[in-house]
Amino acid sequence: MGLQGTSRFNRRAVKVSEAQQRVLAAIQPLHTEKAALWQSGGRRLAEKLVATSDWPPFARSGLDGFAIRGADAAQASPEHPVTLRVVDAIAAGQVARERVGPGTAVRIMTGAAVPDGADAVVMLEQTADAELDGQPAVRVKHAAVPGQNVAPPGEEFRRGSALAEPGAVIRPGHIAMLGSFGYAELPVYARPRVAVFATGTELLPVDAPLEPGKIRDSNSAMVAAMVVQYGGEPVVMGTLPDRVDAVVEALTAALAVADCIVTTGGVSVGDYDVMAAILSRLKQQGRNSRQACQNREGAEGTMPVGGEGAESTMPADVEGAKPHDCDAVERFSCDGTLLPEPESAVSPDGEDDSNRSIEAELHSLFQDDSRVLFDKVAMRPGSPTSAMLLGGKPLFALSGNPGACFVGFELFVRPALSRMQGDPEPLPLAVEAELTESIIKGSPHERYVRAKLLMREGRVLAEPLGFGKSSMMASIPEAEALLVVPPGSKGVSSGERVKLIPIQR
């Protein structure tokens, strides 16, 4: 394959929190657009919106009854009712033609504008129809006070007051408020378009019969569903064989249509782990470019985010940590672009020709602002989970194992999608719960265990689900949280409080 070498083992794990920070530091919110009010639920607002009038906009009756002057019925009681002449009757949406003067009332329905002169509404149940000098009248049988059952203008919102801040998720309540103030369209962040690929020559489409040694591609559809769940638009691009040229071609096509790419599989250290090979080459490019600059300028180079300098804050990872392989030829310019292949590197046999064409394809894939963000994470499952920027767009190379793929998406792709949609705090809030049963198995790295949440006697409990191996999917549908087991040899005991990350259901 030409791209495999010892550098595929040369990966050092970063902590989950560090990996998340690298992702967030590399991503900006997307462009904004307008969405119809009724279609904007769940999207994120791109601007602060304010009340365009006082609310309510007029003094509003809270009941069906009679609008009166409170002072007229201050002493009213069932034994000594007060009789008032009824001068008008209005439904919601109508405005009274008459003012309410001393000794008069207007029959009024819920939501109608309280007429001038009136300052109270008496509910129908506290009145009786009457006549006064042959004219319609009302007997008020309970004492009234000014202001009763009247919502004054601006009671709830003052004109100009903030209704929602940029980045807020638009919830049904926002839609009600914004509709009241005449916002028929809302400025929202664009939904990220996410290209989804599964790599693996063993993969069959979901509608194909099983064949010996092959399995159906379940990750693509799961990832697409998760993209939708977190506000994005998936572009499912199918399965790819474990060949660098095929993957590079597909990634190039994806970059033309998507804001973000998610791949699954091929990210570990195996002979056919094609995503790992691409990551390794991109990393090598960054390293060579820095080396070339240092040599040329005779100065200490500074490492970009995701470079080896950042990694040195971690203890050497026990699995796969090796000194950097610095035997690469300097074929990269100071800005990180690939320089032409030297003539001497090309031999007449077919192997080199094919390498050369792969080099050319990689050259065009690794445009400006292409770099590895991380290529191993100190976690289980999904330690080979990786991320890179390609031409400024994030690519998440998730593990092929379905359980690890799911966890990798929740931990890294979800915050990225939230950031692209303008979320000011894209990392999910961790909460605590009591563990229902011990997790005996220790781990050198943090473990993210799929769990169900239970309420018992007002306490939130977390129940670890069975079938939680990286390769297993049976626990994914039921998972309501990822329970975080700290690194260590002894696991966590039943009854202990554990940190967990809720999953959107």
Ligand X SMILES: Nc1nc2c(c(=O)[nH]1)N[C@H]1C(S)=C(S)[C@@H](COP(=O)(O)OP(=O)(O)OC[C@H]3O[C@@H](n4cnc5c(N)ncnc54)[C@H](O)[C@@H]3O)O[C@H]1N2
Residues lying near ligand MOO in the complex (CB under 6 A): 380-383, 399, 401, 404, 470
In the bound complex, what is the minimum distance in angstroms from residue 318's beta carbon to ligand MOO?
14
Rule CB under 6 A: which residues touch ligand X?
Answer: 198, 200, 202-203, 215, 217-220, 264-270, 273, 319, 381-384, 399-402, 404, 470-471
Say which entry of ligand X, ligand MOO, none residue 354 contacts (CB below 5 to 8 A, set by partner kind).
none
Name beta bridge partners: 477.
none
In the bound complex, what is the minimum distance in angstroms from residue 401's beta carbon to ligand MOO?
5
Say which entry of ligand MOO, ligand X, none residue 265 contacts (CB below 5 to 8 A, set by partner kind).
ligand X
In the bound complex, what is the minimum distance in angstroms from residue 408's beta carbon to ligand MOO?
8
In the bound complex, what is the minimum distance in angstroms from residue 332's beta carbon to ligand X?
27
Q: Which is nearer to ligand X, 115 or 265 (CB)?
A: 265
Q: Which is nearer to ligand MOO, 324 or 441 (CB)?
A: 441
Say which entry of ligand MOO, ligand X, none residue 198 contacts (CB below 5 to 8 A, set by partner kind).
ligand X
Instruction: Please report, for residues 97, 235, 272, 400, 408, the alpha-carbon distance to residue 254 in angstroms, rounded to integers and kept in the order given.
Output: 66, 9, 21, 19, 20
Q: What are phi and psi of 137, to 5 degrees?
A: -145, 170
In the bound complex, what is the minimum distance in angstroms from residue 440's beta carbon to ligand MOO?
17
Q: Which is nearer to ligand MOO, 336 or 381 (CB)?
A: 381
Say which entry of ligand MOO, ligand X, none residue 202 contacts (CB below 5 to 8 A, set by partner kind).
ligand X
Say which entry of ligand MOO, ligand X, none residue 475 contacts (CB below 5 to 8 A, set by partner kind).
none
Rg, the chain, Cα only: 33
Evaluated on CA atoms 300, 306, 307, 310, the torsion sign reads positive
Say which entry of ligand X, ligand MOO, none residue 215 contacts (CB below 5 to 8 A, set by partner kind).
ligand X
Say which entry of ligand MOO, ligand X, none residue 464 contacts (CB below 5 to 8 A, set by partner kind).
none
Say which entry of ligand X, ligand MOO, none residue 273 contacts (CB below 5 to 8 A, set by partner kind).
ligand X
Per the CB < 8 A criterion, the answer to whether 480 and 465 are in contact is no
In the bound complex, what is the minimum distance in angstroms from residue 390's beta carbon to ligand X?
18
Per the CB < 8 A criterion, the answer to whether 262 and 396 are in contact is yes
Q: Which is nearer to ligand MOO, 21 or 470 (CB)?
A: 470
Residue nearest to ligand X (CB): 400
State the virtual CA torsion across 40, 46, 50, 52 in degrees, nearest 10.
-60
Say which entry of ligand X, ligand MOO, none residue 400 contacts (CB below 5 to 8 A, set by partner kind).
ligand X
Q: Which is nearer to ligand X, 135 or 471 (CB)?
A: 471
In the bound complex, what is the minimum distance in angstroms from residue 471's beta carbon to ligand MOO?
7
In the bound complex, what is the minimum distance in angstroms from residue 372's beta carbon to ligand MOO?
18
Q: Which is nearer to ligand MOO, 264 or 399 (CB)?
A: 399
Largest CA distance in the chain: 117
What 8-state DSSP symbol labels residue 430? P
Q: Which is nearer to ligand MOO, 148 or 399 (CB)?
A: 399
d(CA 491, CA 505): 27
Q: Which is nearer to ligand X, 215 or 318 (CB)?
A: 215
Paired tokens of 443: 């781990």
In the bound complex, what is the minimum distance in angstroms from residue 199's beta carbon to ligand X?
6
d(CA 476, CA 408): 13
The DSSP bridge pattern shows strands 127-132 and 371-374 to be unpaired
In the bound complex, what is the minimum distance in angstroms from residue 287's beta carbon to ligand X?
22
CA angle 188, 194, 198 (to 5 degrees): 165
Per the CB < 8 A criterion, the answer to whether 392 and 324 are in contact is no
Name beta bridge partners: 454.
461
Per the CB < 8 A criterion, the answer to whether 217 and 200 are in contact is yes
Q: What are phi and psi of 330, to 5 degrees?
A: -75, 100
d(CA 397, CA 388): 8
Q: Which is nearer to ligand MOO, 98 or 319 (CB)?
A: 319
In the bound complex, what is the minimum distance in angstroms from residue 317's beta carbon to ligand MOO?
12
Say which entry of ligand MOO, ligand X, none residue 7 contacts (CB below 5 to 8 A, set by partner kind).
none
Paired tokens of 377: 């994470």
d(CA 169, CA 166): 9
Q: Which is nearer to ligand MOO, 163 or 275 (CB)?
A: 275
DSSP letters, 107-137, are EE-TTPBPPTT--EEEEGGGEEEEEETTEEE
Q: Which is nearer to ligand MOO, 4 or 470 (CB)?
A: 470
Place of tokens 């400024």: 392
d(CA 319, CA 15): 14
